[in-house]
Amino acid sequence: MKRLGRGLESLIQDVEKPTTGTVSTINIDLIKPNRFQPRRIFNEEKLNELADSIKENGLIQPLVIAKINENEYELIAGERRLQACKMCGLKEVHVHIKEVDEKTSFVLAIIENIQREDLTPIEEAKSYKRLIDEFDLQHQDIAKIMSKERTTITNSLRLLKLSENIQSMIDNKQLSPGHARAVLSVNEDLQEDFAKRIIEKSLNVRKAEEEAKTLISGTTKTPKVVPEPMLFEKSYIKQTEKSMTKSLGQPVKIKEKGNASGDLIIHFDNKETLEKLVRLLS
C-alpha cells in the first residue's frame, strides 16, 4: 500500500475537534462497529459510568461515522460512546457523517482509540504495528501523528517481542511497561520465569532492573579456564627438543597437552631420511 499523505493529518485533527456543522440523527442499529477496532478489553465500570452520564445529559459529542450504503454506516470514532448508548437503550443517536475511504477509516479508527481510549500497552503496540504493516508508516510518521516521541513508539513496539504469556501479564496489569522493558533485557529463555518473579516478589521497576542486570551478568560471564598443570618446565622441553634434534639430525618438536600426554613430532624431508630415523629409533 502507498504511504498516506499529509491530507490524513488534517482529517485526523478534524475528527479530534468537537463536532460542528451538520449533525444527523439516525437509528443506532444502522451503525456497524469499526472492523479495524484495535481495542479488545473494555472497562465495564467506566462503560457503566459513561452510560449513566449519557442517560443524565444525553450524547454531548456525536459519533463520527462513514456511510457504506443507504441503510448501513460504519463507526469511525466513538466506540465506547456507541456501546454506552446501547447500554442506555437509545434507539437513535446524533452522528457526524464523513466521507472517507477504507484506508483512512482504518487509520482513524486506530488513532482515535490510541488518543481517546484507555488502551492496554499491548493493544497500543499492536495498533502501531498495524499502521506500519498495512500502511508502510515509519516510527517517525506515527510519532508525528500521535504527537509523541519516536522512542516512545519504538519502545511500545518492543513489547510485541515478548511471549503471549508475558503480554497477558501486561494486559492484566500485573506488569507495567517499565517492568516489561526490564524483562526484555534478559535472555529470552529466562524472561517468563523472571516476569513471574517480579509479580511474586512485587518488585518495583527499579528493583526489577537491578535483578535483570544480575541475570545478564550471570548468563554472559565467560567461565574461567584453568590451564592444565605443565608436566615439565618450558626450559626443559626446549632443551630436550634441541638435544633430540642434534642426535637425530632432524627438527624435533614436543607439544604437551596436559594429563601426562602430548605429541613428539619429528620432521623428515624424504624417504631416505624417514628410513634413517626408523633405524635410529629402532
Active site residues: 79
Indicate the residue type of 24. Answer: S
What residue spans of 136-190 are helical by DSSP H? 139-146, 150-158, 164-171, 177-184
Best CA proximity match to 80, nearest among 130, 107, 56, 115: 115
Q: Which residues contact 86 (CB under 8 A, 6 or more apart)?
A: 28
CA dihedral sign of residues 70, 76, 78, 84: positive
Where do the H-state alpha helices sit in 17-98?
44-57, 79-88
The helix/strand/coil state of 153 is helix
15 vs 145: CA distance, rounded Å: 13
d(C-alpha 206, C-alpha 198), whole Å = 11
How many contiguous H segments (helices) and E segments (strands) does the chain have?
Answer: 13, 7
| Pair 215, 193: CB distance under 8 Å | no
From the number of C-beta atoms within 10 Å of its C-beta (0-12, 13-18, 19+), residue 194 rates as buried
How far apart CA 66 and CA 33 sit, in angstroms, is: 11
